[in-house]
Amino acid sequence: AQSVTQLDSQVPVFEEAPVELRCNYSSSVSVYLFWYVQYPNQGLQLLLKYLSGSTLVKSINGFEAEFNKSQTSFHLRKPSVHISDTAEYFCAATSGGSYIPTFGRGTSLIVHP
């Protein structure tokens, strides 16, 4: 069974600084990887996904993540964060033909002015 680990429960950062949110998964068999974002009092929105092809995937608001098979990681990065990026970020994965996403515990990104 797939498991997803997000080691950082909270990441505080100043505005315009770079940030990396870490995600590791356990099973590499036919893995699909996702980052979801949850703004305060809202639902989960898909930020970006890796299904196949290029290992570097990007979102429309400047986030990117790289699928690293050797390190079983899918870390989320942004070179310069905004106050509006403050949210909870969830890494999720499916594998082995299962379509059911398994979620990590989430990382709370807190951007300070």
Partner 1 sequence: EPEVTQTPSHQVTQMGQEVILRCVPISNHLYFYWYRQILGQKVEFLVSFYNNEISEKSEIFDDQFSVERPDGSNFTLKIRSTKLEDSAMYFCASSGQYTEAFFGQGTRLTVV
Residues in the site for partner 1, rule: CB under 8 A? 32, 34, 36, 42-46, 49, 51, 90, 98-106
C-beta separation of 76 from 35 below 8 A: yes
Q: Is 59 exposed, middle or buried (0-12, 13-18, 19+ CB in 10 A)?
A: middle
Q: Residue 22 CB, nearest distance to partner 1 (Å)? A: 15
CB of 41 to partner 1, least distance (A): 9
| Least distance (Å) between residue 51 CB and partner 1 | 8
